[in-house]
């Protein structure tokens, strides 16, 4: 990608584009779109936690949202046309750095088995902690483990 990637905090006016990206993904497809509305997105971005976006030439290509209330990574998605360019990895780093700077000691997430997301989280150092009731794999990360990964890089 020749264009310069900008990573910044998500803004209210980004929400409709976040929704577009969320519904465009080909893995971890949302079976029930009513579970992710603009109002719910706004709640997670500005009341429960924080979100970040990757923008190139004023086009939003990916986003990540951390939920402090449930100690969860609520979202990390890159538009399918822009996968494999390091966007997800950069958003992941920004999000976890911020999350653990808030004094949290651990975080969890769930993702569909046998997907690129599962492999991505394993490569980022997340530890698999079983399968959730909904069939998703549960991963966890501690502040200590994150700091060790940062120290090694």
CATH number of the domain within which 110 lies:
3.40.630.30
In this prediction, residue 34 carries a pLDDT of 66
Domain carrying residue 111: 6-152
In this prediction, residue 29 carries a pLDDT of 61
pLDDT surpasses 90 at 3: no
In this prediction, residue 121 carries a pLDDT of 96
Q: In this predicted model, what pLDDT tens digit does every residue of 59-104 receive, in sequence order?
A: 999 999 999 999 999 999 999 999 899 999 999 999 999 999 999 9
Contacts by 92-100, CB closer than 8 A, 24 or more apart: 92/64, 92/124, 94/7, 94/52, 94/64, 95/50, 95/52, 95/64, 95/65, 95/66, 96/66, 96/141, 96/146, 98/50, 98/52, 98/66, 99/49, 99/66, 99/68, 99/73, 100/143, 100/146, 100/147
Residue 1 placed within a domain: no
Residue 85 placed within a domain: yes
In this prediction, residue 32 carries a pLDDT of 63
In this prediction, residue 38 carries a pLDDT of 86
Residue 124 placed within a domain: yes
Q: In this predicted model, what pLDDT tens digit does every residue of 16-64 receive, in sequence order?
A: 999 889 888 767 666 666 667 889 999 999 999 999 999 999 999 999 9
Question: Could you count the other beta carbons within 10 Å of the beta carbon of residue 99?
Answer: 24
Confidence of residue 1 (pLDDT cuts 50, 70, 90): very low
Confidence of residue 2 (pLDDT cuts 50, 70, 90): low
Total tally of structural domains belonging to the chain: 1
């Amino acid at each position: 990608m020749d264009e310069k990637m900008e990573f910044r905090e998500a803004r209210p006016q980004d929400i409709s584009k976040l929704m577009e990206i969320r519904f465009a993904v080909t893995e971890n497809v949302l079976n029930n779109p009513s579970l992710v509305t603009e109002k719910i997105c706004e709640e997670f971005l500005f009341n429960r936690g924080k979100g970040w976006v990757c923008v190139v030439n004023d086009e939003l290509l990916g986003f990540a949202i951390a939920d402090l209330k449930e100690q969860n990574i609520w979202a990390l998605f890159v538009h399918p046309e822009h996968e494999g360019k390091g966007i997800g990895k950069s958003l992941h780093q920004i999000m976890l750095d911020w999350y653990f700077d808030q004094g949290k000691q651990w975080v969890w997430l769930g993702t569909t088995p046998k997907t690129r997301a599962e492999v991505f989280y394993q490569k980022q150092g997340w530890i698999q902690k079983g399968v959730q009731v909904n069939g998703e794999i549960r991963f966890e990360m501690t502040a200590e483990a994150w700091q060790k990964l940062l120290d090694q890089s």
